[in-house]
Amino acid sequence: MQMVRVAGMMTGLTVLLVIAGNYMAGSNGAVLFFGIAVVMNVGAYWFSHKAVLRMYKARIVGPEDAPELYRMVDRLRQNADLPMPVVAIAPSQQPNAFATGRNPEHAVVCMTQGILQLLPPRELEGVIAHELAHIKHRHMLVSTIAATMAGAVAMLASVARWGMIFSGGRDNRDGNPIVMIAMMIVAPIAAMIMQMAISRQNEFQADATAARITGDPRGLASALAHIDNYARQIPMDVNPAAAQLAIINPLAGGRAQAFSGLFRTHPPTEERIAALQEQLVS
């Protein structure tokens, strides 16, 4: 069901791109800027793991550096039928975790120092399984495609805006200039809303899959509650661009709380816990 919803939203982004592109810059312009967006985002997707690890100041570790963590990841990835990912540790004291990499064969699972110190093994297993679920469902690829679509719409809107500025506000196409202005404002916002909605659906799917990997929905539910609470008390210095990868928004204690629910990268933690509790009775 989650994949159907994500597919529907991806279709919506595609349709939005086609409509916005045709109206703002014609079909040729839409194709051109979509191509530019693809090149930019494919490049980011291919090398994302290196950039994200730098943003979190994380270091790669082996079985000799963190034997218990490494064994736990190895056992859970076998349960998930995945190849062994690279394991990394970030120095932040805020308990959190993320996964990155372009596919299951080139994936990274990263835990913060705080999560290793503050969460008991049962909860840590749920968190690791959640990150492995992101890898299993190739959510990094889905997010990249969504970012490509949203980025292309944003570029088209920018081109249309500058075109109107240099033409003195005259519209040399047959369309209504008021509609044109509305499209320049509404289309990028709509694309961003769809992109954030896809991110939230990915979190629900990863939670559900993690519970099946561990066979323990309560462990992950308890971990989410604890991480959410700690994130409001222990700040993390991280680029907002990388915040959406974490299991709980690491900026939850700051300006992230001011945003509307439509622009949230993560669902409310209470809703995620409720969804996990439903798995106990289903």
Determine the average pLDDT of the residues in 213-233.
96
Residue 197: predicted pLDDT: 79
- Which amino acid is residue 211, in one-letter code? A
Residue 85 structural domain: 2-281
Residue 181: predicted pLDDT: 66
* Torsion sign (Cα): 91, 97, 101, 104: positive
Which pTM value belongs to this model? Answer: 0.75
More confident residue, 125 or 51: 125
What pLDDT band is residue 39 in, cutting at 50, 70 and 90? low
Q: Alpha-carbon distance 127 to 113, whole Å? A: 14
User: Which range among 21-30, 135-144, 195-204 shows the weakest confidence by mean pLDDT?
Assistant: 21-30
Residue 83: predicted pLDDT: 97
More confident residue, 179 or 275: 275
Residues 253-275: pLDDT tens digits?
654 444 456 667 789 999 999 99
Is the predicted pLDDT of residue 200 greater than 60, yes or no?
yes
More confident residue, 117 or 200: 117
The interaxial angle of helices 139-166 and 177-214, nearest 10 deg, is 170
Q: What are phi and psi of 110, to 5 degrees?
A: -125, 130
* Placement of tokens 């008021």 in the chain: 178
- The verdict on whether 131 is a catalytic residue reads yes
Q: What are phi and psi of 124, to 5 degrees?
A: -60, -35
Q: SS3 breakdown of the chain: % helix, strand, coil, rounded to 5?
A: 70, 5, 25
Q: Is 198 strand, coil or helix?
A: helix
Domains identified in the chain, total number: 1
Asked if residue 128 lies in contact with residue 73, where contact means CB atoms within 8 angstroms, the answer is yes
Helix or strand holding residue 274 (H, E) = helix 269-281
More confident residue, 207 or 282: 207
- Give the Å distances, CA to CA, from 41 to 47, 191, 200, 201, 267: 10, 15, 20, 21, 24
More confident residue, 275 or 239: 275
Point out the catalytic residue in the list 125, 131, 270, 271: 131
Q: Is 98 strand, coil or helix?
A: strand
Nearest to 99 by CA among 209, 214, 215, 206: 206
Nearest to 249 by CA among 94, 48, 73: 94
Determine the average pLDDT of the residues in 98-113.
92
Q: Alpha-carbon distance 199 to 224, whole Å? A: 17
Is the predicted pLDDT of residue 134 greater than 80, yes or no?
yes
Q: What percent of the chain has pLDDT over 70?
A: 62
- What's the mean pLDDT when you consider all of the chain? 79
